[in-house]
Structure 1
Amino acid sequence: MKLVLEILTGVLFVVEVGEGCTVAGLKDAIAAQEELPRDRIIFVLEGDPGRTIRRGEDGVPIVELGFRHGSHVYLFLEPEEDNGDDP
């Protein structure tokens, strides 16, 4: 299935994954294709109402969350955690 992803900057790209793909698999495909940090990826699925997919749902098949061929998905990156090392 092909998904259209849009990053906050307005950049669009297409990722193709299998029907049985999980959230983790989609993150892996995006990380490999777009060189983004997979552990910080958050999805917001377009729709009424929209659906936010965060950590803890990595093992869930994306079709169970409403992803379909041609879905428009917004991709955000969680802010990096502050480890308190800055002066």
Structure 2
Amino acid sequence: MERTLGEIDRARAIFAHASEICDPKVHGHFWDTWMDFEVKHGNEDTLREMLRVKRSVQQTYNTSVKHMSAQMIAAGAAKVCARF
């Protein structure tokens, strides 16, 4: 809607805010939409910033998954050790 009203900076801010909860592996459509938006309404700098944010968010989710996996493995190992 902001795009149709000519509020490009506001639309960009909304994308940036929403990106915090959009894992690129799960919400690929969101990232494709933001990239299309930057190609149409932005410049090279805004597109690079979007890609930087995407990498940052992806790294956050990768770290979270690795941390959760480590916790699950540790919990499983603790159960096995408790049996002995």
Q: Under TM normalisation by the shorter chain, which class is it?
A: under 0.3
With structure 2 as the length reference, what TM-score do the two structures score? 0.27
Richer in helix (by share): 2
Richer in strand (by share): 1
- The structure showing larger relative contact order (alpha-carbon pairs under 8 Å, at least 6 residues apart) is 1
